[in-house]
């Protein structure tokens, strides 16, 4: 998929995030928007997946370790055809398959139930290990928040992945630099992220998480690395794509009101017409 | 009961895994630097490629097992009960229980029979913790025969499964030829018309001895082995309680949340009885040999006999 097509999809994904969180009147737009380009890339270009066969044992896996940003994943899955886009507005409502945090027994396409921070990387390690045991060539991608890597279990999992040279595992760190209580560097600094993963025997790549060329070449490098797991540290903007949400900690876990929703939707629609106009 | 043959159920655990490894090629075993103590090194020696040592990182081990299970493996995680249910409780709940993944938690060194290591390593809350997780099966084998059968049952039962093994050698209680392990079915090992004692784990053999002591005083005690704490055998609990003059429970666990509580829940809702729970009375353990501790906390035959007599 070319970059413009990816941008168009990512903009639709962002609209879905806004609609879902607005409808639910709660949820986590900020970190969903910061990772929207990455998750779009994974499901529309990088991963070997089939929405009509979500349990294919040979598929590539994705674990959203920062599970609270599931509106972003749900929107990508819906746009990719795992379930109708109309389902997005049922987010967090009684009986919906779209739970407040991802649940693999509820939603087609969810490879691991997550939400309690710090646990997803271990599950991804287990999946990567299973591929090695079975001599399968599927790859496992795990997305973590930058605040999330304050959890000790992340480093237990990283130590094991490096030790076992799990070259079929890629961990992506969404470095939007914000957590609930403020700047990641102010609350309890996780920096330098890249050097930490290097010390845990990872192949580390720093990229701009909103630049599809850089995202693409990072995964190429990950696939070509034969003796280490890869960590992609991506610099992102929390709330990316909705002007009033950008780089604001307050939009970590808050839904837009009706007025804010309309404003955000208009921005994204304008972007979409520019992109689609240019595409014709 | 064969008192000459004593085997620790952790030994049975390691042996069962090694035996079943061939029949179940998807069986994998995870350890957190305790393969020697949990006896899963017996499996490791036979199937080194299917044994995964995660290092001293129980939370990670739990998550890795979850990931393996999503890919069709049948992982057993092995550690001391303290670290296989306590340290990683939330990982068990959220990464295994909530998605109902096919992970087996085979915990050893449960209860006070850990002995000299003392309170930090004597888990008295594991049954309580595991029992409250939706969809978790909980089994407390009493001896070698039952422990091996429980490992097979765990493999053959889809979903999260907790088995509690002990450190110390215990007599073989179920050494009769027609023994058959049925998950969720309590077994009456000794009939008695006066009182009923529901027990499991290391306490089963002690209760059988205590029943003989009571018999010499003219008190006939039924001893019912409730190896499966969840799902609990409601029918058997009601059946053996309704005509009993008094009901007792006995376990190497806190009296809060374990077998005693499970029995009381059944009886309170179906067949109200006065129940005396014999166990660890809401306190921590301490260092001493397993035998000394069992006597100190009143969980040996003499202690059980005394407690029953006091509460008749």
pLDDT given for residue B4 in this prediction: 84
| Angstroms from B94 CA to nearest CA on chain A | 7
Calculate the alpha carbon distances from B210 to A222, B204, B217, B307 in Å: 65, 10, 11, 10
A195 in contact with chain B, both atoms CB, cutoff 8 A? no
pLDDT given for residue B132 in this prediction: 98
Q: Which chain A residues touch B50 with a CB distance below 8 Å?
A: 133
pLDDT tens, residue order, chain B (312 aa): 777 889 999 999 999 999 999 999 999 999 999 999 999 999 999 999 999 999 999 999 999 999 999 999 999 999 999 999 999 999 999 999 999 999 999 999 999 999 999 999 999 999 999 999 999 999 999 999 999 999 999 999 999 999 999 999 999 999 988 899 999 999 999 999 999 999 999 999 999 999 999 999 999 999 999 999 999 999 999 999 999 999 999 999 999 999 999 999 999 999 999 999 999 999 999 999 999 999 999 999 999 999 999 999
pLDDT given for residue B127 in this prediction: 98
pLDDT tens digits, A52-85: 999 999 999 999 999 999 999 999 999 999 999 9
Please give the residue range of the domain that contains residue A108. Answer: 3-279
The H-or-E segment that residue A98 falls in is: none
> pLDDT band for position A245 (50/70/90)?
very high
Is residue A280's pLDDT more than 60? no
Q: What domains sit in chain B, N to C, each tagged with a CATH number? A: 2-172 (3.40.50.970), 187-310 (3.40.50.920)
Asked if A153's CB is within 8 angstroms of B91's CB, the reply is yes
Determine the residue of chain A that is closest to B74 in CA distance.
A130
In chain A, the number of structural domains is 1
Calculate the alpha carbon distances from B134 to A92, B71, B82, B94 in Å: 21, 22, 20, 11
Q: Are A120 and A144 in contact (CB under 8 A)?
A: yes
Q: CA–CA separation, B305 vs B208, rounded Å? A: 10
Q: CA–CA separation, B61 vs B71, rounded Å? A: 16
Interface ipTM: 0.96
Model-level pTM? 0.97
DSSP A87: G
pLDDT given for residue B112 in this prediction: 98
> pLDDT band for position A278 (50/70/90)?
low
Is residue A279's pLDDT more than 80? no
Average model confidence (pLDDT) across chain B = 97
pLDDT given for residue B1 in this prediction: 79
Catalytically active residues of B, by annotation: 58
pLDDT given for residue B9 in this prediction: 98
Calculate the alpha carbon distances from B12 to A132, A216, B18, B102, B164 in Å: 30, 52, 10, 21, 12
Q: CA–CA separation, A32 vs A268, rounded Å? A: 15
B95 in contact with chain A, both atoms CB, cutoff 8 A? yes
pLDDT given for residue B3 in this prediction: 79
Q: Are A122 and A153 in contact (CB under 8 A)?
A: yes
CATH number at residue A234: 3.40.50.970
How many CB atoms within 10 Å of residue A266? 10
């Amino acid at each position: 998929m070319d970059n413009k097509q990816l941008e168009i999809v990512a903009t639709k994904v962002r609209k879905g995030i806004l609609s879902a969180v607005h409808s639910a009147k709660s949820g986590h737009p900020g970190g969903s928007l910061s990772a929207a380009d990455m998750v779009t890339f994974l499901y529309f270009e990088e991963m070997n997946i089939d929405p009509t066969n979500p349990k294919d044992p040979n598929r590539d896996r994705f674990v959203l370790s920062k599970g609270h940003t599931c509106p972003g994943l749900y929107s990508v899955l819906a746009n990719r055809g795992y379930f109708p886009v109309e389902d997005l507005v049922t987010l967090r409502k009684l009986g919906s398959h779209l739970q407040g945090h991802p649940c693999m027994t509820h939603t087609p396409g969810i490879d691991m139930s997550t939400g309690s921070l710090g646990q997803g990387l271990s599950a991804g390690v287990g999946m990567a290990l299973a591929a090695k045991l079975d001599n399968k060539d599927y790859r496992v991608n795990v997305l973590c928040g930058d605040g999330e890597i304050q959890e000790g279990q992340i480093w237990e999992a990283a130590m094991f992945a490096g030790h076992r040279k799990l070259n079929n595992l890629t961990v992506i760190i969404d470095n939007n630099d914000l957590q609930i209580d403020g700047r990641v560097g102010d609350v309890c600094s996780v920096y330098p992220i890249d050097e930490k993963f290097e010390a845990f025997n990872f192949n580390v790549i720093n990229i701009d998480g909103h630049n599809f060329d850089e995202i693409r070449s990072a995964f190429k490098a990950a696939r070509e690395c034969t003796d280490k797991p890869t960590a992609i540290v991506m610099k992102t903007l929390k709330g990316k794509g909705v002007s009033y949400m950008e780089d604001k900690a307050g939009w970590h876990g808050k839904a837009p009101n009706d007025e804010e929703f309309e404003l955000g939707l208009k921005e994204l629609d304008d972007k979409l017409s520019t992109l689609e106009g240019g595409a014709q | 009961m064969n008192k000459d043959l004593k085997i620790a159920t952790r030994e049975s655990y390691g042996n069962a895994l090694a035996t079943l490894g061939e029949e179940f090629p998807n069986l994998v075993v995870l350890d957190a630097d305790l393969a020697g103590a949990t006896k899963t090194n017996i499996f490791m020696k036979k199937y080194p490629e299917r044994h995964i040592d995660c290092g001293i990182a129980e939370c990670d081990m739990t998550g890795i097992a979850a990931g393996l299970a999503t890919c069709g493996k049948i992982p057993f995680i092995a550690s001391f009960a303290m670290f296989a249910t306590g340290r990683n409780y939330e990982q068990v709940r959220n990464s295994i229980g909530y998605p109902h993944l096919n992970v087996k938690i085979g915990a050893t060194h449960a209860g006070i029979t850990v002995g000299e290591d003392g309170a930090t390593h004597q888990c008295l809350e594991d049954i309580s913790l595991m029992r409250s997780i939706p969809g978790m099966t909980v089994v407390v084998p009493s001896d070698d025969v039952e422990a091996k059968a429980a490992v097979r049952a765990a493999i053959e039962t889809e979903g999260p499964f907790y088995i509690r093994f002990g450190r110390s050698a215990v007599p073989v209680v179920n050494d009769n030829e027609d023994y058959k392990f049925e998950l969720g079915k309590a077994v009456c090992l000794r009939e008695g018309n006066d009182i009923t004692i529901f027990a499991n784990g290391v306490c089963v053999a002690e209760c059988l001895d205590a029943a003989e002591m009571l018999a010499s005083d003219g008190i006939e005690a039924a001893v019912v082995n409730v190896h499966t704490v969840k799902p609990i055998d409601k029918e058997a609990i009601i059946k053996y309680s309704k005509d009993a003059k008094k009901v007792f429970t006995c376990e190497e666990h806190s009296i809060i949340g374990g077998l005693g509580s499970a029995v009381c829940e059944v009886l309170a809702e179906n067949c109200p009885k006065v129940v005396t729970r014999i166990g660890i009375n809401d306190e921590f353990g301490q260092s001493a040999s397993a035998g000394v501790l069992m006597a100190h906390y009143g969980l040996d035959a003499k202690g059980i006999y005394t407690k029953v007599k006091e509460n008749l």
